[in-house]
Structure 1
Amino acid sequence: MINHTQKLQNLMQRVDISSFKGLSRDAGVSERQILRLRQGKLEKMRVDVLRKLSQVLQISLSELLETFSPVPCRDSINSVSTHDPLPSQKEIAELKVEYQRSLLQLEQQREILKQEFQQSSLQLLESLLLQWPTAAQKATENPQLAAIKIVPLVQKPLERLLQEWGIQAIAPVGADVQYNPQMHQLMSGTAQPGETVIVRYTGYLQGDKLLYRAKVSPL
Structure 2
Amino acid sequence: MASMPVDYTGPLQQLMAQAGISSFRALARASGLSVGIILQVRRGQLERLRLEGVLRLSQALGVSVEDLLRQFVPDLKPAPASPPTADADRVAAVQAEYDRLQAQFTEQREVLQAAFQAEALSTLEAWLLQWPTAAYAAQQNAQVPAARLVPLMQPVEKLLAAWGVRAIAPVGAEVPYDPTLHQLMEGSIQPGDLVRIRYTGYWHDDKLLYRAKVSPAKPPGASG
What TM-score do the two structures reach when normalised by structure 2?
A: 0.41
What TM-score do the two structures reach when normalised by structure 1?
A: 0.41
